[in-house]
Amino acid sequence: MNETFDAVVVGAGPAGSAAALRMAQAGLKVVLLERGEFPGAKNVFGGVLYRKQIEDLVPEFWKEKNAPIERSIVEQRMWMMGKESCVTFSHRNEAFKEPMNCFTGLRVKFDQWLAGKAVEAGAIPVYETAATELIRQGDRVVGVRTDRDEGDIYANVVVIADGVNSLLGKSLGAHQGWKPDEVSLVVKETIALPREKIEDRFSLEGDEGVTVEFMGETSLGMAGMGFLYTNKESISLGIGVMVNDLTKKQIKPHELLDSVKQHPVIRKLIKGGEMREYAAHLIPEGGYDSVPALSGNGWCLAGDSAQLVNFVHREGTNLAMKSGEMAADAIIEATKKGDFSAQTLRSYNDAIRSSFIMKDLKKYRGMHKLLKDTDPSLMFDKLPRALNEAAFNMFSVDGVSKADKQKHAIRLMKEAAGGTLNLVKLGIRGWRATNG
């Protein structure tokens, strides 16, 4: 292509499509480049999408007949897993429905839908085409080289939204390749189940849905979380653990998921289901201190490629879309000025840093260090086990007085932590890590 576009967006995931949509809506000439056969063809995630950031781009999208919504979430559960048990905490509320707070979705549908909105607004789709490198003039990025013959695409700004591995971001020096303690590996199965079974097992009516996040003995002593989300006629079940732990323990990811599926609480929820899809993918979990420079001369970095994931709250897609939207806004302003320098595009970097995205990542800034410095078996094995034992004891009617049971529960927790002082220290470190 000989033409110079206003922008080329690399990657039609949530970040890239949001950026392309916003710029196309503002009348910019935008190319949306995607290496997959179509957007979402091979993309993987757990399954929860958030209304707010999508609505900012596509008002009242949920009223559309073909909106990519599986189930509207009315209940969120947290489970602390023991070997054959769990201690649970959950919140169900009808108020989550009107308007919906979040919903489950499938990437193969969602990504196509969002990219379709960008194309409807005027973005030019170029699919089955991978960007292989950035084209530079001096210290300015002026376009991308692709794997097609004569496939160079020139643009005033390149939005790099190529996901967690971000080869383009790496080529800019934005990151040197993520370290094993900055990424988790998640394995996931989509398990088909009849609609009525899902609704019965989770006490749901119509298109209501439930999310479950779980941690504890299910991650086999490694730092990690599992999830189980209800779709219309399937369940998304997965577990993610930090890559450094996985390497140390030499456990194969599918073995981890197999062991999760055997847990009695989970086994009963997926019973009779048929595995439809198995996938594995990385999540950037470096947090606040791993976020690189977000813009420079002729480029912006958005979504996973910039480590914009709040893993404590499993929020990634919304941060990706918001960052794509903010990059687009900065490029729209730069286009008005005719200036695509690092100085002008810095407004994107500044917008992200003063938004809820960086405020939230800052709040959990210490989590990465806490996980790095704490023996994972303490938080993900010993303490959950002690909590489950304490709960079992407390709820068992066996002639032992409640005061003695309480003492026993406290003793179990202290022993698990290696003494009172360690327990107190862990509590303080946990508080600091989540209030950065």
Q: How far is the CB of 150 from ligand FAD (least distance, A)?
A: 17
Considering only the C-alpha atoms of the chain, give the largest distance between any 2 of them, rounded to a whole number of Å: 84
d(CA 11, CA 355): 23
| C-beta closer to ligand FAD: residue 300 or 412 | 300
Q: How far is the CB of 321 from ligand FAD (least distance, A)?
A: 8
| C-beta closer to ligand FAD: residue 125 or 418 | 125
Q: How far is the CB of 381 from ligand FAD (least distance, A)?
A: 22
Where does this chain bind ligand FAD (CB under 6 A)?
10-16, 33-36, 39, 43-48, 130-131, 161-163, 186, 188, 238, 281, 283, 303-305, 309, 314-318, 320
Q: What angle do CA 10, 300, 161 make, to 5 degrees?
A: 30
Q: How far is the CB of 243 from ligand FAD (least distance, A)?
A: 12
Q: Which stretches of 35-88 are DSSP H helices?
A: 51-57
Q: How far is the CB of 44 from ligand FAD (least distance, A)?
A: 5
Please list, residue by residue across 24-35, b when 16 or more beta carbons sit within 10 angstroms of its beta carbon and e when fewer do. Answer: bbbebbbbbbbb
| C-beta closer to ligand FAD: residue 27 or 99 | 99
| C-beta closer to ligand FAD: residue 207 or 382 | 207
Q: How far is the CB of 416 from ligand FAD (least distance, A)?
A: 29
| C-beta closer to ligand FAD: residue 357 or 409 | 357
Please give the full DSSP string across 93-147, using - where no structure is assigned. -GGGTTTTSEEE--HHHHHHHHHHHHHHTT-EEEES--EEEEEEETTEEEEEEES
d(CA 196, CA 277): 21
AA letter at 409: A
| C-beta closer to ligand FAD: residue 341 or 356 | 356
d(CA 410, CA 402): 12
Is the peptide bond preceding residue 99 cis, with omega within 30 degrees of 0?
yes
Q: What angle do CA 344, 157, 113 make, to 5 degrees?
A: 120
